[in-house]
Amino acid sequence: MIDCPYCGERVEINHDDGQGYAEDQTHQQDCPECEKTFVFTTSISFHYNASKADCLNGSEHTYKITNTCPKEFSRMCCTQCGHERNLTEQERILYKIGTKESYFEKLKTL
């Protein structure tokens, strides 16, 4: 949203034509309230959030199973750093998940 410099109305930037995203360019917009044309420029900024990742500093990864469909393609993902690995045989038994190979064999019988 941007304020029209003529009437002050809050105006939704129209990106239907694919314009208005590029920085360092002047873009044109019509105000639906006062029907005057104004120009605007776009500024893009980034915001970063930092979190602890003890697993990258000598502690163990804390893995959680991914929510994947089909479940035979599930992986274990570290909740701290995002590292992924395949399920162990014990985890497959615990979560009652077959292998990818068993999934493809099941498809052949359908």
State how far the Cα of 11 lies from the Cα of 27, in Å rounded to an integer: 14
For residue 44, what are its two tokens? 């893009």
Q: Tens digit of pLDDT for each residue in 62-79?
A: 999 999 999 999 999 999
Q: Alpha-carbon distance 92 to 103, whole Å? A: 13
Q: What is the pLDDT of residue 81?
A: 97
Mean pLDDT confidence for 14-23: 71
Q: What is the CA radius of gyration of the chain?
A: 26
**pLDDT tens digits along 86-101:** 999 999 999 999 999 9
Per-residue tokens: 98: 């077959």
Measured CA to CA, the distance from residue 54 to residue 57 in angstroms comes to 5
- pLDDT greater at residue 59 or residue 1: 59
pLDDT of residue 6: 96
Is-contact 39 28, C-beta < 8 A?
yes
